[in-house]
Amino acid sequence: MQYDKLAPDDVLQETIKALKKKNVILSVVKNKIEALEKIKEIIPEGASVMNGSSTTLAQIGFIDYLKSSSHGWDNLHEKILAEKDQKKQAKLRREALLSDYYLGSVAALTESGEFVVASNTGSQLPHIVYSSPNLIFVISTKKIVPNLVGAMARLEDYVIPLEDKRLRAQYGVGTAPNKILIFNGENPTGNRKINFILVKEDLGF
């Protein structure tokens, strides 16, 4: 199966219908430029922001924009990296779990609206599962698959090998899908907001 082809329009429309039933706040944009502009629209000035490691976020320019400090957000990731004392850094990481906004991407999104996130350490999963009240996922439409079987296949056969290769080249160590999250939906009583920005461009793995 090819995992680097954008979803055809009929598949995209079915996925959009499914996501709307799950009360996801949905935006569909043409490219990475529009994706970054949409993020800027969503996050208000003064909000605390945390993000996971994401090739997609880097490709759309979000990481560089976050480092620029021209946004008016509280960049928690920067504070963590700036702290060299391990005990203090660990404390900042725990506090960052309560960020107003968490941004990332997914390994796969099914046509029925479920999505899969894999992690080596699990550090980003608490944000996604519960602790951050606002989530923003930037997702290339190439990541849409028919079902959860296809999602797991995409993760194991495509995403992990590419991510492992990237990390070994950059840091000398690879990765593994030690912790895998299947997100079926959100309890509406929690008042969390889940934003999906679907991008009609080849981004990420």
Average pLDDT score over the chain: 96
Contact 24, 195 (CB under 8 A): yes
pLDDT of 202 over the 80 cut:
yes
- Residue 178 phi/psi, 5-degree rounding, is -65, -30
pLDDT, residue 69, reads 80
For residue 115, name the pLDDT band (cuts at 50, 70, 90).
very high
pLDDT, residue 106, reads 98
Question: In this structure, what DSSP letter does residue 107 have?
Answer: S
d(CA 205, CA 106): 9
- 80-104 tens-digit pLDDT: 999 999 999 999 999 999 999 999 9
- 146-172 tens-digit pLDDT: 999 999 999 999 999 999 999 999 999
Question: Which of 101, 135, 189, 131 is closest to 19 using CA atoms?
Answer: 135
pLDDT, residue 80, reads 93
Contact 102, 193 (CB under 8 A): no
Contact 160, 151 (CB under 8 A): no
Q: SS3 of 168, please?
A: helix
pLDDT, residue 163, reads 95
Mean pLDDT of 49-56: 94
d(CA 105, CA 143): 10
Q: Count the neighbouring beta carbons within 10 Å of the beta carbon of residue 44.
A: 11
What is the CATH number that goes with domain 9-199?
3.40.50.10420
Share of the chain above pLDDT 70, in %: 100
pLDDT, residue 30, reads 98
Single-letter amino acid code for the residue at 156: E
Show me where the domains of the chain are located: 9-199
- 3-44 tens-digit pLDDT: 999 999 999 999 999 999 998 999 999 999 999 999 999 999
For residue 190, name the pLDDT band (cuts at 50, 70, 90).
confident
- 136-145 tens-digit pLDDT: 999 999 999 9
